[in-house]
Amino acid sequence: MKRFLGFVKKEFIHIFRDFRTLIILFGIPVVQILLFGFVVSTEIKDAGIAFLDLSKDEISRKVIHKTVSSGFFSYSGELTSFREVDRIMKEGKAKAVVIFEPQFGEKFFREKSAAVSIIADGSEPNTATLITHYLTAIIQNYNQELTGSPAEEIVPVKAEVSMFYNPELKSHFMFVPGVITLILILICALMTSVTITREKEFGTMEVLLVSPLKPIQIILGKVTPYFLLSFINVILILLLSWLVFGLPVKGSVALLLAESMLYILMALSLGILISTVSKTMQQAIFISLVGLLLPTILLSGFIFPIENMHPVYHWVSSILPPRYFITIIKNIMIKGTGLGFVWKETLILAGMTLLFMLFSIRNFKTRLE
């Protein structure tokens, strides 16, 4: 145990003394999330929003006024009938329409329950989710103002969201799962394979091998710091996207973290596997980037939807572990589904992890050759 801790301490020193490692570990995830998030948020700045007020009472007017003056959207006008909803959205003049039901105000006071519908243009899902997000927040605020009670207790105004063209909500907030998937591959596979091959290149591996350390101890010592740091990274990314862009995890956070751990383990064993087949850091970097990162970006549904791919790529994509993780995390984060919906992917991922672990431990030699 003391040996193991000594080894882990050494690895942490390597990590914290190397500026480049720190940048990859913490700089890249933060910058990516902020950058993507910024691009997505600026899109809604110019998003037009229209209103169909079937009630036209004091309360509905106030909600409209609040929304328009919030500064998040540009005002595209008021509609008079449902037919216009279709038209204004097809023309692209509005990205979302807020509809107040008849007798909105009356219901609000008498029944303590009134509803608005938000119809959003789902063909630009990221914009749509953001708009509904902001709108819901504004309405909730107004609720509080009116009733003077904390939000949870009475929620007279309910927002019902429907997506116009994209009812399944294929959100462009996909970038958060995408970034997590990529970052973990980068940290776990690339960084561990590089740190192990570095010991080979500098000749320190020779001495480690001529020590009472068993291969499994060397592997665990190498991998533990990266496991911890990757996990912290996932939490950091989730916090960032929640605090800065208001993107919550819809499903269970615990499940999400557990799935992330599984994926981290998978990526770490891949990293070890790569290190066992490469002699130099260059080789390890090349294999990680070209063999792992690139296919992950291109084929696991991060940029291009898997459904639209040529069957060959489809097939290739199905042997890429990140693809399953991205499905899992998308489901939990954005759709809010539970393990029941992702158990198949989880099982595949677990199987792959086990396989890679076995291979990498078997491949990690007790001798030099």
* Closer residue to other proteins in complex, CB, 207/239: 207
Q: How far is CA 158 from CA 70, 118, 276, 356, in A?
A: 19, 10, 57, 49
Q: Does 14 sit near other proteins (CB under 8 A)? A: yes
Distance between CA 281 and CA 308 in Å, rounded? 36
Q: Does 110 sit near other proteins (CB under 8 A)? A: no
Mark 22-61 with x for binding to other proteins (rule: CB under 8 A) and - for no binding: ----------------------------------------
* Closer residue to other proteins in complex, CB, 69/204: 204
Q: Of 48-56, 203-211, 241-249, 311-319, which segment contacts other proteins by CB under 8 A?
A: 203-211
Q: Of 180-188, 209-217, 278-286, 322-330, which segment contacts other proteins by CB under 8 A?
A: 209-217
Q: Does 367 sit near other proteins (CB under 8 A)? A: yes
Residue 52, helix vs strand vs coil:
strand
Q: Does 20 sit near other proteins (CB under 8 A)? A: no
Q: Of 13-21, 107-115, 128-136, 183-191, which segment contacts other proteins by CB under 8 A?
A: 13-21
Q: Does 368 sit near other proteins (CB under 8 A)? A: yes
CB 4 within 8 A of CB 221: yes
Token readout for 283 is 């080789």
CB 117 within 8 A of CB 99: yes
* Closer residue to other proteins in complex, CB, 113/280: 280
Residue of 343, 321, 347 whose CA lies nearest to 268: 321
Of residues 268 through 297, those in contact with other proteins by CB under 8 A are none
Residue of 92, 280, 95, 287 whose CA lies nearest to 196: 280
Residue 166, helix vs strand vs coil:
coil
Instruction: Output the furthest CA–CA distance in the chain (Å, rounded).
Output: 83
Question: CA 196: distance to chain centroid?
Answer: 29
* Closer residue to other proteins in complex, CB, 13/30: 13
Radius of gyration of the chain (CA): 25
Q: Does 202 sit near other proteins (CB under 8 A)? A: yes
Residue of 334, 301, 331 whose CA lies nearest to 318: 301
Q: Does 361 sit near other proteins (CB under 8 A)? A: no
Which of 34, 137, 209, 220 touches other proteins by CB under 8 A? 209
Q: Does 19 sit near other proteins (CB under 8 A)? A: no
Residue of 238, 270, 245, 292 whose CA lies nearest to 356: 270
Residue type, 355: L
Q: Does 17 sit near other proteins (CB under 8 A)? A: yes
Q: Does 149 sit near other proteins (CB under 8 A)? A: no
- The contact set with other proteins (CB under 8 A) reads 2-3, 5-7, 9-10, 13-14, 17-18, 202-204, 206-213, 366-369
